[in-house]
A and B are shown apart, each in its own frame.
Chain A
Amino acid sequence: MFLTEVSFSIAARSVSTRGFLDWIRRTGICLAFSLIAGCAGNGEGLDENGRPIGEGDGDQPLVATFDSIQQNVFTPVCATGCHSGANAPLGLRLEEGVAFTMLVNVPSAEVPSIDRVEPGAPDASYLIQKLEGTAAVGERMPLDGPSLPQSTIDVIRQWITDGALPPAAATVAAPVATLALLAPWPQTQLSPDEAPPVVELLVAADRALDTTLLEAGTVTLEASGGDGGFDQGNERRIALQVTVTQFAPTAFRLVPAVPLAADGYRLTISGSAPLALADLGAIAIDGDRDGRPGGNYVVEFVSGGAP
């Protein structure tokens, strides 16, 4: 092989490169280098990514899940050297714990009209275009190493086709946004006669939201139709006006377009497809509070009617 079979002359003797390295080690040149650079680690107690055995999930076969792709591709190939830390090229960090939030539904820096990962659409995902060398801008990735085999890229394609599902909750370093209805206080035990009138709703999140997503498709308010239940088929949808706090995109007001009549109400904020409220990292809210992005936030309250 090259550098093992191809010989060249060094100091009037012909040696192979691999043999040359062995010669370096044997002759103590490595010792001399070690005064400057130190010899390479022997890898004892480390996995293939150079991390202590047992620190991560260990060696796993490459399958179409984010965790597996992180372990087998993003960490060893992309994050080793380049796409890590605050200086990662184009702001794209691919270390464990942050890679997902950097990829899914996030516009690419080179071609902002294309998301890095578009769930369900691998051909429209910039990540795939960069790995396959078909992107309109820039070089094929990875720069510092052989191109990924198509079989590996196909696994990433499959993960995207499957919806680009997130990693297990334990590996998501960045918390997902959860919501809370601050006013009126969520409750369903009061009768409309006992409850105060509601003129607006105040909802808060525990991290900044992409408030441009607050619209009729993501926020719905329904009246029960007088029976307090929401499975009778007599529910009425109430139009809402959304007002976002200017300096704190973690809270927003929902003002009904008409005064609320005395009734029970259900507010639903979507965290699931096809249109979901998300944070600034394009991660869907954790509406159902299961520790993972996704799920609708549903809360009920009672209004005493217009004052």
Chain B
Amino acid sequence: MIFDRRIAVLTIGLLAASTAEAEPYLAVRQGLKCITCHVNPTGGGLRNPYGHVFAQNELAARRIDTGDAQWLGQISRVFSIGGDLRARGTVTDLPDADEQDTAFDLDELRAYLDFSVIPDRLSVYVDQHFAPGGSRNLEAYGWLWLGEDRRYYVKAGQMYLPYGLRLEDDMAFIRQVPGINFGTPDNGVELGLEAGPWTAQLAVSNGTAGGPESDDGKQWSLRGEYVRAAWRLGASYNLNDADGGERHLGALFAGLRTGPIAWLAEADYIEDQGLPDDRRRQWVGLLEANWMPRRGHNLKGTVESLDPDTDVDEDERNRYSFVWEYTPIQYLQLRGGVRVYDGIPQNELQNRRFGFIELHAFF
């Protein structure tokens, strides 16, 4: 087998590459919608001026006074930029391995541009990945708010699809297994609603996860969320009508604030058709607790579960994560933690252990 432990200790880029800033626990903790801090109503990517104010004054343990030169992401009234850089050191271990591997990697460098052609009405937005690897466009779309009250909008172009909780960690089971994450933008159109406590999106896209269109079928993504100050509840449904077999996704997700702890939960049902075994059903679940013992610190504990085939017994997998996030000053975050995979004993990859420390700079 290829799981030769002599080689399997090579560096894992576990969370590598397909990550971007999106932390729904912050929204739950604050009782706010994603659009409060991000330009994109579904979260992630470029922060808006409020997001910058929050990053400087609430997220960081200490704010370094920059006087009048306060960065709000705006080059001008109509032109905003932002970015994320993640560099990390990793340690990987497989069961019964004779040695482990350590490495430093640049995991992510990406930039966001927003050009408000007509302020508060019409924008052109770009999310560009620069490293590692060559430059690659992830999002590029035009975006129009319909009406003066900014309740409805339409986006067209390449975009992340609306589905479930938009966690920063693309390798979380709820992001990886459904296949809707920062690594799989798609070309299409999205209609959105931002009305009071409601936020909802309907997207129609090629269903090729960024690849060229290969058939007549389309992917339909529907997401709705009801947001209150201390809790939120949402649901998603996704159908990818591909010639190679349909994929149906359904998700229920929720957030709850109890004192200093912000909870996130999501459960997903995935059904694939057209596989050699005809049809496969999967369940994925996540429960995450984020405890803020003091300003600038967040302790994150996550339990994830995956049943990769409901027709097969004893194949379930779990992943446990313990992460400390420390934001000493504005726009700089230090993260460290371990992720422990727990799967069937005959598969080493499903039982690997991974530790990391990370420097995350953003603006």
**Partner pick for A152 among B2, B136, B212, CB 8 A cutoff:** B2
Find out whether the CB atom of A109 lies under 8 angstroms from the CB atom of B276. Answer: no
Find out whether the CB atom of A146 lies under 8 angstroms from the CB atom of B308. Answer: no
Most buried by B among A33, A38, A92, A112: A38
Assembled-state Cα–Cα distance A285/B134 (Å): 36
Find out whether the CB atom of B345 lies under 8 angstroms from the CB atom of A43. Answer: yes
Most buried by A among B14, B97, B207, B305: B305
Q: Which residues does chain A contribute within 8 Å of B124, judged by CB atoms?
A: none
**Partner pick for B1 among A36, A62, A143, CB 8 A cutoff:** A62
Find out whether the CB atom of A1 lies under 8 angstroms from the CB atom of B136. Answer: no
Name the residue of chain B whose CB is nearest to the CB of A109.
B211
Find out whether the CB atom of B314 lies under 8 angstroms from the CB atom of A45. Answer: yes
**Partner pick for A146 among B92, B180, B209, CB 8 A cutoff:** B92
Q: Which of A100-121 contact B (CB under 8 A)?
A: 109-110, 112
Q: Any chain B CB within 8 A of the CB of A139?
A: yes
Q: Any chain A CB within 8 A of the CB of B189?
A: no
Closest Cβ–Cβ distance, residue A23 to chain B (whole Å): 12
Q: Any chain A CB within 8 A of the CB of B171?
A: yes
Name the residue of chain B whose CB is nearest to the CB of A45.
B314
A144 with B344, Cβ < 8 A, contacts A72-B1, A91-B212 known: no
Which 4 pairs between the two chains have the least Cβ-Cβ distance? A87-B179, A91-B211, A43-B344, A149-B7
Find out whether the CB atom of B3 lies under 8 angstroms from the CB atom of A81. Answer: no
Find out whether the CB atom of A81 lies under 8 angstroms from the CB atom of B305. Answer: no
**9 contacts across the A-B interface (CB closer than 8 A):** A3-B93, A17-B338, A37-B303, A48-B347, A76-B3, A88-B209, A109-B211, A137-B136, A146-B11
Q: Which residues does chain A contribute within 8 Å of B207, judged by CB atoms?
A: 86-87
Q: Which of A71-101 contact B (CB under 8 A)?
A: 72-73, 76-77, 80-82, 84-93, 95-98
Closest Cβ–Cβ distance, residue A258 to chain B (whole Å): 40
A139 with B17, Cβ < 8 A, contacts A36-B305, A86-B246 known: yes
Assembled-state Cα–Cα distance A36/B273 (Å): 27
Find out whether the CB atom of B312 lies under 8 angstroms from the CB atom of A52. Answer: yes
A91 with B349, Cβ < 8 A, contacts A3-B355, A173-B276 known: no
Q: Which residues does chain A contribute within 8 Å of B7, judged by CB atoms?
A: 146, 148-152
Find out whether the CB atom of B317 lies under 8 angstroms from the CB atom of A41. Answer: yes
Find out whether the CB atom of A40 lies under 8 angstroms from the CB atom of B343. Answer: yes
Q: Any chain A CB within 8 A of the CB of B133?
A: yes
Q: Any chain A CB within 8 A of the CB of B240?
A: yes
Q: Any chain B CB within 8 A of the CB of A140?
A: yes
Find out whether the CB atom of A48 lies under 8 angstroms from the CB atom of B3. Answer: yes
Q: Which residues does chain B contribute within 8 Å of A43, judged by CB atoms?
A: 314-315, 343-347
Interface contacts beyond A146-B11, A146-B101: sample of 10 additional A-B pairs, CB < 8 Å, sorted by A: A42-B314, A43-B315, A77-B349, A87-B207, A91-B208, A91-B214, A109-B212, A146-B94, A147-B11, A149-B6
Most buried by B among A1, A85, A98, A150: A85
Q: Any chain B CB within 8 A of the CB of A136?
A: yes
Find out whether the CB atom of A41 lies under 8 angstroms from the CB atom of B313. Answer: yes
Find out whether the CB atom of B1 lies under 8 angstroms from the CB atom of A37. Answer: no
Find out whether the CB atom of A90 lies under 8 angstroms from the CB atom of B210. Answer: yes
Q: Any chain B CB within 8 A of the CB of A231?
A: no
Q: Which residues does chain B contribute within 8 Å of A109, judged by CB atoms?
A: 208, 210-212
Q: Any chain A CB within 8 A of the CB of B13?
A: yes
Assembled-state Cα–Cα distance A186/B320 (Å): 66
Closest Cβ–Cβ distance, residue A120 to chain B (whole Å): 24
Q: Which residues does chain A contribute within 8 Å of B287, judged by CB atoms?
A: 36-37
Q: Which residues does chain B contribute within 8 Å of A17, judged by CB atoms?
A: 338, 340, 353
Q: Any chain A CB within 8 A of the CB of B275?
A: yes
Find out whether the CB atom of A89 lies under 8 angstroms from the CB atom of B342. Answer: no
CB-defined interface of B198-214 with A at 8 Å, one 1/0 digit per residue? 00000000011111101
Name the residue of chain B whose CB is nearest to the CB of A55.
B277
Q: Which residues does chain A contribute within 8 Å of B340, judged by CB atoms?
A: 3, 17, 21
Closest Cβ–Cβ distance, residue B286 to chain A (whole Å): 9
Q: Any chain A CB within 8 A of the CB of B262?
A: no
Name the residue of chain A whose CB is nearest to the CB of B317.
A40
Q: Which residues does chain B contribute within 8 Å of A148, judged by CB atoms?
A: 2, 7
Q: Any chain B CB within 8 A of the CB of A50?
A: yes
Closest Cβ–Cβ distance, residue A112 to chain B (whole Å): 7
Assembled-state Cα–Cα distance A86/B345 (Å): 29
Closest Cβ–Cβ distance, residue B75 to chain A (whole Å): 28
Q: Any chain B CB within 8 A of the CB of A49?
A: yes
CB-defined interface of B343-363 with A at 8 Å, one 1/0 digit per residue? 111110110110100000000
Find out whether the CB atom of B176 lies under 8 angstroms from the CB atom of A40. Answer: no
**Partner pick for B179 among A36, A73, A82, A138, CB 8 A cutoff:** A82
Q: Which residues does chain B contribute within 8 Å of A280, judged by CB atoms?
A: 214
**Partner pick for A140 among B13, B244, B343, B349, CB 8 A cutoff:** B13
Q: Which residues does chain B contribute within 8 Å of A76, judged by CB atoms?
A: 2-3, 347, 349
Q: Which residues does chain A contribute within 8 Å of B343, judged by CB atoms?
A: 40-41, 43, 50
Q: Which residues does chain A contribute within 8 Å of B313, judged by CB atoms?
A: 41, 44-45
Name the residue of chain A whose CB is nearest to the CB of B186.
A87
**Partner pick for A50 among B1, B312, B352, CB 8 A cutoff:** B312
Closest Cβ–Cβ distance, residue B203 to chain A (whole Å): 13
Q: Any chain A CB within 8 A of the CB of B31?
A: no
Find out whether the CB atom of B276 lies under 8 angstroms from the CB atom of A41. Answer: no
Q: Any chain A CB within 8 A of the CB of B255?
A: no
